[in-house]
Amino acid sequence: MDADYVPPDNGASLRRNRTLNRPERYQPAAPLLTGKKERKPFDLWVVFSRIVTFWAPSILLSKCGGFPDKQSQQAWREKVTLCFIALFMGAIVAFLTVGFRPVLCPADSADNSQHFLHYGTSSGHLGIFGWQFEVFNSLPPNNFNFIDYARKQDGQDITNYFKRDIDIPSCQLNSIKQFAAVTQPLCSSNSPNSTCPLDRLTLQTLREYNLKNISKRVGFDYTDLGSPALKNYVVVDGAVLNLDPYIIAHPNPIQGDLLDKMIRNGLNSQGKDVTKLIFGKESTKPAMTCLIQKYYAGNIDKQTIGCFTADVFNYIMLVVILGIVMVRFFMACVFSWFISFRLAHEPTKPKKQRQPSTSQVFGRRTAPWINRNPTVNAINLDKIGNDLFTVLLVTCYSEGKEGLQLTCESMAATDYPDDRKLLFLICDGLITGTGNDKSTPELCVDLMHLEPEFKDPQPQSYIAVAAGSKQHNMAKVYAGHFIYKDRRVPMITVVKCGSPEEEGQKKAGNRGKRDSQLILMNFFSRVTYNDRMTPLDYDLFRKTQYLMGVTPDFFETVLMVDADTKVYPDSLRLLINCLCNDRLIMGLCGETKIANKRDSWVTAIQVFEYYISHHLGKGFESVFGGVTCLPGCFCMYRLKARKGDDDWVPIITKPEIVQEYSQNVVDTLHQKNLLLLGEDRFLTTLMLRNFPYRKMTFCPQAICKTVVPDSFRVLLSQRRRWINSTIHNLMELVLVRNLCGTFCFSMQFVVFMELMGTVVLPIAIILTFLLIITSIINPPADFAEAIPLMMLAAVLGLPAILILITTRKLVYIAWMMIYLLALPIWNFILPTYAYWHFDDFSWGETRKVEGEEKGDSHGGKDGQFDPSKVPFKRWEDWERNRLRKLRRQERQRQGAPYSNEQNESNPSLLDPYDSSSVVSRGSTNDIGQQHHFYDYNHTNRIESRPRQRPEFYKRHSQVENLRLINDGSSTSIDSYDTNNGDGRY
């Protein structure tokens, strides 16, 4: 089977061509999390975390911090380090948002109308020492008329008409007194030939003349300096210097004066900028400050390098952020208007006659339960059509009776044939939820109409996702039907009851939600590959076949639902339609709505958040087939996908996915946040990484309702888990190079931006309110200052537009306003609390259990695991042992003496079970009584009268079992290995 096989696309969604796939970058193999990691003597992350927490020695953490072991101490150090990184990134964002422009472009050098009045653009103004003064109401002396000068040239410099002293400190350096431009006297009271008509340049003089400073500098353009009126003006470091006094006093070049030569070269150049010339010589460099203070007349009002850099950065951020926001918005609209309806419409029925579904999937020798008798008809793909066999998985922990019953009733009421869906409940331990009279397993079993043969199942062993002795777990399999109105749905309830050593303990059998999911995933993976089965797998195989009338390898999809979720009647059919319309889809989810949205203010603030995360976030990701998180409360995966007309590709049952998802060694903070808190997100990440050419999508027409936290304490605990798991899963997903797109136009870049945005949420909301307050006090004067407000308006306003043009439900506008009022909670309180609890791996207040204390966990290590307690055999080995037991019991019932293996292999002894009469599901009672005459765990031997076998096993006995039993190499049950060392592969 080729896991990378890409079936043809029927055009129901956006095509993903080779450009988007980037096959040259495909990286096979390396798992996200490996089983056992070699300890490196020098781990950079560990060293860095110790450097950051150098102020907290281990002895202090042990004595005062409540962290007695090294693992908890390291988790605390990593938590503090992650918080430090978040603070550092927040500081960078704050600097880029608030401090970057003021540093590069100070207020006095900014290019805008608030700081400069351009030369010659406003009448009635004159320049004095670089500042613009209004002269309309001036009181000039008899020999000088300010208004006449302003009429000749607005903004011209009249500084040199004032008497000024020349004892400027920067001009007193001995090294520069050799230059005439430095020692040149200006109009001053000490000059014998003074022609300065105005008094000394002081504030008192300006008041006497009634010259009003408008607080704006004189601005010049390089083109202005070419005019005849400014022929003696030069530019030094952005400052414009009026050298009229110097040139008038020295009309000819001064021999041996290097600075004079530079000035005259600048006056003859096109730009008149002598900055480079003066800075180019060490002897003239100190004279620059003196020249500016002595001849200053204004500034070049073009942007400085710093202001230009700041503006370029702002524009880049505007393009990137608004680009992402707008692309997400428009792509979500495209998905809502065009793609989603094409995916969910009723698929066409297959017309081509195909081979039986099991005849070519595994080959003749790999699936021994396949009928080899050509005279017996089997269900083929043509008969299955678009009604795929589906498992409805419900993971249960501490829910109440009402929630469990509501979920099961909604699943039973779905518009889907009852004989094509199997309700599959898994109870995670012997748990009694707070406020419940019965334990969760008892509540689940009470919902079933048990088959008489399955009323008292025996615990069966399997290997759990745990550490130490807890790897050995046992579970009971109850089989029956769920009856609701006129519906009769096959139902299996798996109750994890724990090993015998756990009897009487709190939460016996509890191994977590991930372990519950892996019971199903391991089972179908072993069925798909005919791998060795645990006793629990074999029990599930027989009872599933009994209830459904087909072997488990007919199942193609699994719908995962939480135990407090109500599924809409058409949801299952819509999800299956999507899978049938686009064979590239490997997983999808529907929309989750809130059932208790008006219970409290806590539920009210969540309504819009749920809506926008689906229709904007998942809608955008679905266009590219890369939804990054399928919520565990309502999602569907393919168990295997059809490859052509006669073959299959394992999807969620792929061994690489099962192996990575069943990680037992979870000893780092990163792994615990991935696998103990965010298993749903991590499973999605695994799927995207292992199948880069397939799709994860969203079906908005499929709807479910769930109960959300109605108290702030529970919401705080839930979002703490979600935020922390989101960050750690994004850290994994950002390393997946196979996501579609390239560079900034890729899902990988979008994931990176989402990761950065999640980390800096607290500082972002602070800056948002700071921006709003600042804009109210000082409204933006130009486009550059309005850029942050534009980005804020786009981020907050586009979701409202999305609501109006997609759903047209104005009520969501009201929910959005409630959500916006709660932004400080969403963006500051919840993330800050979550970051400080990076090392908290419990479910907190979300699922309370009666008698549970803080710190109780299913992840602790206790004792050593003994693999011999969980036998592993192939299906034919389990079946061979069962048939041998049947023959022994039949001989005992008939009074026949005990015989050896050769006599046991006599085909005549099987005659009573090889009746050719038609056997229905109602007559397959021997499967239900399997535990009475054969113990999978080899712990007891309870004899019972054998019953008639179903048609499937009758056919198998006729064709295959006789060959297996009579095989000379298989004469003894002891020759088959029941323990493979590690108990798994």
Q: What is the pLDDT of residues 75-100, one digit of tens each?
A: 899 999 999 999 999 999 999 888 88
Residue 711 scores a pLDDT above 60: yes
Angle between helix 811-821 and 783-806 (nearest 10): 140
DSSP at 459: P
Phi, psi of 705 (to 5 degrees): -125, 140
Together in a domain, 145 and 241: yes
Instruction: Give the SS3 label for residue 490.
Output: strand
Together in a domain, 134 and 280: yes
DSSP codes, 748-804 = HHHHHHHHHHHHTHHHHHHHHHHHHHHHHHS---SHHHHHHHHHHHHHHHHHHHHHH
- The answer to the question of residue 491 being in a domain is yes
Higher pLDDT, 783 or 970: 783
Predicted pLDDT at 924? 30
**591 CB neighbour count, 10 Å cutoff:** 23
Conformational region of residue 851, where left means phi above 0, alpha means psi within -120 to 50, and beta covers everything else: left
Residues in the chain, overall count: 985
| Type and span of the H or E element at 952 | helix 951-956
- The answer to the question of residue 814 being in a domain is no
| Type and span of the H or E element at 496 | strand 487-496
Average per-residue pLDDT for the chain: 80
- The answer to the question of residue 107 being in a domain is no
Structure tokens, 164: 């000024």
Together in a domain, 388 and 281: no
Mean pLDDT, residues 328-352? 86
- The answer to the question of residue 178 being in a domain is yes
Structure tokens, 23: 């096959």
**Amino acid identity at 847:** R
Residue closest to 720 by CA, chosen among 633, 859, 855, 831: 831
Predicted pLDDT at 551? 92
pLDDT (tens digit, 9 = 90+) per residue, 133-158? 998 888 888 778 888 888 888 888 98
**971 vs 966: CA distance, rounded Å:** 7
Final residue of a domain: which of 264, 281, 303?
A: 303
Together in a domain, 289 and 390: no
**490 vs 499: CA distance, rounded Å:** 28
CA angle 540, 544, 546 (to 5 degrees): 120
Contact assessment for residue 763 and residue 90, using Cβ atoms and an 8 Å cutoff: yes
Together in a domain, 298 and 202: yes
Residues 6+ apart with CB under 8 A from 735: none
Predicted pLDDT at 861? 60
**Amino acid identity at 242:** N
| Percentage with pLDDT > 90 across the chain | 42
Together in a domain, 143 and 245: yes
Which residues are registered as beta bridge partners of 585? 695
pLDDT band of 165, cuts 50, 70, 90:
low
Together in a domain, 276 and 404: no
Residues 6+ apart with CB under 8 A from 24: none
**393 vs 544: CA distance, rounded Å:** 13
pLDDT (tens digit, 9 = 90+) per residue, 797-855? 888 888 887 777 888 899 999 999 999 999 999 999 999 999 888 866 555 555 555 55
**795 vs 772: CA distance, rounded Å:** 14
Contact assessment for residue 707 and residue 566, using Cβ atoms and an 8 Å cutoff: no
DSSP codes, 22-38 = -GGG---S--SS-SSPP
pLDDT band of 351, cuts 50, 70, 90:
low
- The answer to the question of residue 191 being in a domain is yes
Mean pLDDT, residues 323-331? 88
pLDDT (tens digit, 9 = 90+) per residue, 648-701? 899 999 999 999 999 887 778 888 888 888 888 999 999 998 998 899 999 999
- The answer to the question of residue 624 being in a domain is no
Mean pLDDT, residues 467-475? 91
Together in a domain, 283 and 392: no
- The answer to the question of residue 939 being in a domain is no
Higher pLDDT, 766 or 10: 766
Domain total of the chain: 2
Question: Within its chain, how far is the Cα of 108 from the centroid?
Answer: 44
Phi, psi of 63 (to 5 degrees): -80, -40
Contact assessment for residue 587 and residue 687, using Cβ atoms and an 8 Å cutoff: yes
Helical ranges in 530-654 per DSSP H: 535-548, 571-581, 601-612, 619-623
**286 vs 173: CA distance, rounded Å:** 8
- The answer to the question of residue 919 being in a domain is no
Predicted pLDDT at 360? 42
Q: Which of 355-359, 519-523, 765-769 has the highest mean pLDDT?
A: 519-523
Predicted pLDDT at 896? 56
**779 vs 552: CA distance, rounded Å:** 68
Predicted pLDDT at 227? 86
Residue closest to 735 by CA, chosen among 672, 675, 670: 670
Contact assessment for residue 639 and residue 652, using Cβ atoms and an 8 Å cutoff: yes
β-pairing, 472-484 vs 449-450, is: antiparallel
pLDDT band of 963, cuts 50, 70, 90:
very low
Predicted pLDDT at 747? 82
pLDDT (tens digit, 9 = 90+) per residue, 369-397? 665 434 334 566 667 889 999 999 999 99
Q: Which of 17-31, 455-469, 858-872 has the highest mean pLDDT?
A: 455-469
pLDDT band of 299, cuts 50, 70, 90:
confident
Residues 851-882: b if buried by 16+ CB within 10 A, e if exposed: ebeeeeebbeeeeebebebbbbbbbbbbbbbb
Together in a domain, 296 and 436: no
**Amino acid identity at 288:** M
Higher pLDDT, 896 or 117: 117
User: Given the structure tokens 């979300």, which residue do they identify?
Assistant: 846
Which residues are registered as beta bridge partners of 217? 116, 131
The pTM score is: 0.76
Which residues are registered as beta bridge partners of 638? 557
**985 CB neighbour count, 10 Å cutoff:** 11
Predicted pLDDT at 596? 93
Can you give the residue range of the structural domain that contains 244?
114-303
- Taking the CA atoms of residue 242, residue 247, residue 249 and residue 254 in that order, the dihedral angle to the nearest 10 degrees is 130
Final residue of a domain: which of 534, 549, 564?
A: 549
Together in a domain, 262 and 405: no
**Amino acid identity at 300:** I
Residue 529 scores a pLDDT above 70: yes
Together in a domain, 296 and 388: no
Instruction: Give the SS3 label for residue 177.
Output: coil
| Type and span of the H or E element at 215 | strand 212-220
pLDDT (tens digit, 9 = 90+) per residue, 891-927? 888 875 544 444 444 443 333 333 333 333 332 333 3
Residues 6+ apart with CB under 8 A from 385: 349, 350
Together in a domain, 409 and 520: yes
Question: How far, in Å, are 77, 223, 400, 425, 840 from residue 849 at the CA level?
Answer: 30, 80, 11, 19, 18
Predicted pLDDT at 118? 81
Predicted pLDDT at 358? 43
Final residue of a domain: which of 303, 334, 351?
A: 303
Predicted pLDDT at 846? 58
